[in-house]
Amino acid sequence: MAGIYDFKVPKRDGSELALSDYRGKVIIIVNTATGCGFTPHYEPLEQMYEDLHERGLEIVDIPCNQFDDSAPGSDDQIHEFCSLKYHTRFEQMKKAEVNGENQLPLYAYLKEQKGFTGFGKGPMAFMMKIMMKRTDRNYKKNSDIKWNFTKFIIDRDGSVVARFEPTEDMDKVRMFVEGLI
C-alpha cells in the first residue's frame, strides 16, 4: 500500500514536488481558493509557516476550483494574488481537483486515511451543513472534500494524523500542529 511519501504533486512550473522531500517534517496539505469565504485562512497559514518552518513545518497549497468556481484564474494569477494579498512564502502548486474521477491520487489517499467527521459547531459550521444538504444529501457518509481549505496534517513519521474542515478554528489547527513540531 502506498504511503504519503510515494506521492508527487504537480507544481505551478510544470515540475513535481515529491512528498518524500518532506520526510521527517510536519506537513499541512490544504486545498485552497482565492475567492471563497475561507480565503482569509491564508493569513494564519502563512503565520504558521513563518513561525514554524525552520522547526520543520511545510505547507502544500493545492488550489482547487471545484467549489463554486472559487479559484478562477491561472496558476500564476493565483500565486500573484496570494503573494500580494497574504504575503505567502510557501509555494502554491498547480490547480487540481480533489474529488471525482480527475482528483489527484494524493487526495484519494488522504480521504482514505481521514474521512469526514463533521463541521463542528458555530455559525460557519451551521451554514456549511445547510449548503451540503442542498448539494450532497449523503455528505455525512462520504469522505469527499466538502469545501476549500480542508487541511490534512501529516506527522514527522508520514502518518495522516488529522483532518480539519474549513469551519475549524485556525487557532485549534495551529495548536495541533505545534504539538507535532
Answer whether residue 34 shows pLDDT above 70.
yes
Catalytic residue among 4, 27, 36, 145: 36
The pLDDT of residue 1 = 63
Distance CA 16, CA 18 (A): 6
Q: Is 154 in contact with 161 (CB distance < 8 Å)?
A: yes
Distance CA 25, CA 22 (A): 6
The pLDDT of residue 126 = 93
Q: How many CB atoms lie within 10 A of CB 124?
A: 17
Nearest Cα residue to 11 out of 79, 65, 82, 107: 79
Identity of the highest mean pLDDT range in 1-5, 25-29, 78-82: 25-29
- Residues in CB range of 157: below 8 A, 6 or more apart: none
Look up 36 and say whether it is catalytic.
yes
The pLDDT of residue 179 = 97
pLDDT class for 2, splitting at 50, 70, 90? confident
Report how many domains make up the chain: 1
CATH number for the domain that contains residue 52 = 3.40.30.10
Distance of CA 101 to the CA centre of its chain: 19
Report, as an integer, the average pLDDT of 59-67.
97
Q: Is 111 in contact with 144 (CB distance < 8 Å)?
A: yes
Per the structure, the complete domain to which residue 25 belongs is given by: 4-180
Q: What is the DSSP letter of 139?
A: G
pLDDT class for 65, splitting at 50, 70, 90? very high
Distance CA 79, CA 12 (A): 9
Distance CA 169, CA 82 (A): 21
pLDDT class for 91, splitting at 50, 70, 90? confident
Average of per-residue pLDDT values in the chain: 96
> What DSSP string describes 95-133?
--BSSSTTB-HHHHHHHHHS------SSHHHHHHHHHHH
